[in-house]
Every structure is written in C-alpha cells, then in structure tokens.
Amino acid sequence: TLTRERIRLEDRAVKMSVKTVGKEKVGVLDIPGFYVGLTDDVKVQLQKLEKQNVSSIVIDLRSNGGGALTEAVSLSGLFIPSGPVVQVRDNNGKVREDSDNDGVVYYKGPLVVLVDRFSASASEIFAAAMQDYGRALIVGEPTFGKGTVQQYRSLNRIYDQMLRPDWPALGSV
C-alpha cells in the first residue's frame, strides 16, 4: 500500500547554528537551495546571530543546486551596499543587469562562503558576487560551472489545438 505523508518544506529552509572556535563564536548559515523567501529568512537569522555576538559568519552552499535567481540577487544585497550582481543575456543577445539598489548592508563582518562541485546556478551567482565585491572568502572546490539561467515564460494563450497529420482536427469528427 501507498501512504501519503506530509512534505516538510522546512527541510529545505535555511538553518542557523553557532559554533565556538577558540574564544570566538562563529555563525553558520546552511542554505540548501535558493527558494522564494530565502532572503527574508536569512535576515531573521542574521538578527539572531547578531544577538549572539558572533564574530564572523560562514554561509554553507555545498550541494546547493541553485533556485530562484531573484533570491541570489537579493541575498547578495544583504552583504553589499549596492551594485550589479549578475548580467543575463537573453536569446536575442540583449543584456539585462540585475542589481542590488537599496544601499543597506545587513551584515558587515567577516564572511566565508563554502562551495563544492554540486554548488550550481544561483549559488554560483551569489558566491561570485561575494568574491567580486571582496566581501567573502570562498572556500571549497570548483563549483558546477552552470553558467546559464532559465525562467518561466507565459505562452499567453489558454490552449493549443492538437493536430494530427492527415487526420481531421480533434473535435471536428
């Protein structure tokens, strides 16, 4: 028999912990994926880490296959004052620049980003932005190297008519 069980989405949410290294407290944010709402969740965790007086933060993106590009951009914005995060070239060759423009840095302290060969897409974009802005030390192995983004596009139609070769259209027989 097949039993239906509830899916626990919190398994995919950001997790926060504090490690003691010598006399220092280090905050660790484990981010398994770039889901919609990640940046807001990380803001909450950053406030908790601030109350615990951590001296630095480690962001763990190992085995993070990516997710929402918008979250990669907005999460980057928590650690940089403002500026471009990524450029995307569409199939027509037009380049769009996604930037952080709010001018607010939510965490200014030392930052380390952990990556591995399974870190891809949005996680690579975030790690690259942190490296490009000199904001974090990137530690680990070379990432997946996806280099592309995808997005959902509405086809702006309610239905398509299915045609069969050499047969009348369905519904006309």
Which listed residue (63, 146, 166, 172) is catalytic? 146
What is residue 10's predicted lDDT score, i.e. its pLDDT?
59
Could you tell me the strand order of the sheet in which 56-60 lies?
Answer: 15-21, 24-30, 56-60, 111-115, 137-140
**Residue 171 banded pLDDT, cuts 50, 70, 90:** low
Q: By percentage, how much of the chain surpasses pLDDT 70?
A: 84
Q: Which of 108, 132, 154, 172 is catalytic?
A: 132
* Catalytic choice (90, 121, 123, 166): 121
- Rounded to an integer, the average pLDDT of 91-117 is 94
Q: Which of 43-47, 142-146, 161-165 has the highest mean pLDDT?
A: 43-47
73-82, 147-156, 162-171: which has the minimum mean pLDDT?
162-171
Of residues 33 and 91, more confidently modeled: 33
- Look at the chain and report how many structural domains it folds into: 1
Q: How confident is the model at residue 158 (pLDDT cuts 50, 70, 90)?
A: low
**Domain assignment of residue 68, yes or no:** yes
For 37, the token pair is: 């709402």
Q: What is the mean pLDDT of residues 133-145?
A: 97
In a domain, 171, yes or no: no
d(CA 83, CA 77): 8
What is the per-residue pLDDT for 148? 82
Which among 44, 61, 46, 54 has a CA at the least distance from the CA of 20? 54
Residue-wise over 87-120: b if at least 16 C-beta within 10 A, else e? eeeeeeeeeeebebeeeeeebeeebbbbbbeebb
* Domain of residue 69, residue span: 9-140
CATH number at residue 98: 3.90.226.10
pLDDT at 173: 47
Is 23 among the catalytic positions? no
Q: Mean per-residue pLDDT for 61-88?
A: 96
Q: Are 85 and 75 in contact (CB under 8 A)?
A: no
Res 71: pLDDT: 97
In a domain, 169, yes or no: no
Assigned domain for 160 exists: no
Establish if 162 belongs to a structural domain. no
Q: Is 56 a catalytic residue?
A: no
- HSE, CB side, 13 Å, CA atoms: give it for residue 20: 3
163, part of any domain? no
Residue 109 lies in a domain: yes
Active site residue 132: yes
Q: What confidence category does residue 133 fall into, taking pLDDT thresholds of 50, 70 and 90?
A: very high
Is the pLDDT reported for residue 81 higher than 90? yes
